[in-house]
Chain A
Amino acid sequence: DAGVTQSPTHLIKTRGQQVTLRCSPISGHKSVSWYQQVLGQGPQFIFQYYEKEERGRGNFPDRFSARQFPNYSSELNVNALLLGDSALYLCASSRGLSDTQYFGPGTRLTVL
């Protein structure tokens, strides 16, 4: 079975721009979570979606938003990019809300 997939793999943007990251979960998984990992740190939780509803939100500004589609894929949007948004953005899928999470390869975002 295919694992979690994310696109694009790499992205370079400039300050003030907007970006959309995409994630497809493992088949049969209904929950998608998004994490941000800056260099030298562990991943930090941004959002969790389950059955197309937001079920959790981390301590991130309103510039960050997400949604989940009927096929359980998800998008993460970041507006008004800042240099500090440069990070590896990880998507994880799980069958249910508290089940084991499996991570995708991530999208590496660089903001110049």
Chain B
Amino acid sequence: QQQVKQSPQSLIVQKGGISIINCAYENTAFDYFPWYQQFPGKGPALLIAIRPDVSEKKEGRFTISFNKSAKQFSLHIMDSQPGDSATYFCAASMGQGGSEKLVFGKGTKLTVNP
């Protein structure tokens, strides 16, 4: 019930293409869904987050789509760039992520070829 399942495990996209990463959860008590970006040797950095009262949130080239009934959410990276090559983690928590523990997916290693 506490799991967040993430797919695919790895993804290769050409420059300018769209990268799509999917996550699914079981616990309906989750109400905060952030995405983190991690470069090698660095800590995860918050990319974008969504609450279940909206179905989509867009920030620049990054969009989260949220399907509450299916208990799924996804990250779309438009016009993918080589600099986007990193590992992406979805996560979920039962709070705003400010005082509640996060449950992370296992990550997706994105490679954007020039």
Say if A and B assemble together.
no
> What is A's interface to B at a CB cutoff of 8 Å?
none
> What is B's interface to A at a CB cutoff of 8 Å?
none
